[in-house]
Amino acid sequence: MDCIYEGDRKMYINPTECIDCGACESVCPVDAITADRRTPPERMEHLHDNRAFFETILPGRSVPIGNPGGAAVLGRVGVDTPLVSALEES
Ligand code: SF4
């Protein structure tokens, strides 16, 4: 599936388009991906923020991204959610 979208500093998985195959989880080099059902309580804020990337109106846009049918269709979004934008770069 082509359901991993590019923000600015972060990638976001479309929770509606994802078929939960787990392929990305096993190949992510920094173990940044966890299935929704196994997200620990202290990371739930980021689970909700990932969904917000698609369901809320991001800075500079007039409508939510929604479910475009593939990241390649939409291209680089180039903007993050307010939560991610406010994070310090490490
Ligand atoms: S689990 Fe990962 S690789 Fe599989 S469809 Fe969802 S985002 Fe894509």
Expressed in angstroms and rounded, the spacing between residue 4 Cα and the centre of ligand 1 is 8
- Domain containing 12 equals 4-77
Residues with CB under 6 A from ligand 1: 1, 3-4, 13, 18-24
Atom of ligand 1 nearest to the CA of 14: 7
Whether residue 59 is contained in a domain is answered as yes
Atom of ligand 1 nearest to the CA of 2: 8
Whether residue 60 is contained in a domain is answered as yes
Tell me the whole-structure pTM to 2 decimals.
0.91
Whether residue 49 is contained in a domain is answered as yes
Per-residue pLDDT band for 41 (boundaries 50, 70, 90) equals very high
81: amino acid identity, one letter: T
Whether residue 87 is contained in a domain is answered as no
Q: Tokens at residue 72, please?
A: 């390649």
Atom of ligand 1 nearest to the CA of 13: 7
Please compute the mean of the pLDDT values over residues 26-46 and round it to a whole number.
91
